[in-house]
Each structure stands twice: as C-alpha cells, then as structure tokens.
Amino acid sequence: MTLDRSYVERNREGLERLRALIARLSGEDFGRPVGRGWTVSASLAHLAFWDRRALANFETWEREGVQISPTEPNPINDGMLPEWLAMPGHEAAREALAAAEAVDLKVEQLAPALIEQVMAQRSRTIVRAMHRGDHLDEIERALSQPAP
C-alpha cells in the first residue's frame, strides 16, 4: 500500500499561512487578546512549544519505536501560559516559525512505517497544520476585531 503523503502539502500550506500572518503583525498586535487570557504572542509561543514537543517525540520514536503516551494538554497549557504571556511577541513569532519549519521538515523525512503508526493513533501529530490552523483561526478572528 502506498502512503498518502498529503500531510506534507497540508503542513506546507499551514507553514505558509503562519509565515504570512507573522509578516503582517505589528508590535501592538502581539498583545491583542484571543480569549481565555491568551494573547496573539502567547498563542504563537504555544504553537512553538507543541511543535517542539512533536519534534522531540519524532526523534525519540525513531530511536526507540513509537510509544504514544496519553497527554492531557489543558494542564500543560495552563501551566505554561504565564511563560508564554511573558515571552516578547517578536521572540514568540520567531520561535513559532522556527519550530514549525523544523517539525515540518522532520515529518517529511520520517520513515513511512513510523508515519503510519503515528497516523493510526494521533494524526494531528503528523498533520501539524491541524493544530496550527486552529490557533491561526483564533488569531485572525482576534485581529479582525476592533482594538480594545
């Protein structure tokens, strides 16, 4: 069976969407609220964190085999939010872009057998554009509203 590699294009599109959004952000935009106490900057830092986590998982799984552990993201997000809010906006944007580029490249290079194992359990780990898109939608909604 041939592996459906459409995730590569989806990730590229998500990366380009992230890149375009970051390119048009002003310094004031980073502090714009997106809801639940989050800002644009915190959302970008969040994306960087989860992309870096996925990258670390891929590297571990290549060495040791796929063992997806259950993760409850809400306590992690709640615990990390103060750090993400404290990160300067331009740094959060730089890190979000660097992390997205790194993880997308890694996904493109993963062995088909590893891809299939992960996709069978948690497709969002491979299709990074899914998570990225959720947050880019939130950011774009926030930016479309009048400034507070």
* Predicted confidence pLDDT, tens digits, the chain (148 residues): 577 899 999 999 999 999 999 999 999 999 999 999 999 999 999 999 999 999 999 999 999 999 988 888 999 999 999 999 999 999 999 999 999 999 999 999 999 999 999 999 999 999 999 999 999 999 999 999 988 7
What is the model's pLDDT at position 88?
98
Query: Rounded distance, CA 75 to CA 93, Å?
Result: 23
Nearest Cα residue to 91 out of 39, 51, 44? 44
Query: Rounded distance, CA 145 to CA 7, Å?
Result: 32
Nearest Cα residue to 50 out of 114, 106, 103? 103
Q: Residue-wise over 92-108: b if at least 16 C-beta within 10 A, else e?
A: bbebbbebbeebbebbe
38-55 pLDDT, tens digit per residue, is 999 999 999 999 999 999
Whether domain 6-144 has CATH 1.20.120.450 = yes
What is the model's pLDDT at position 148?
73
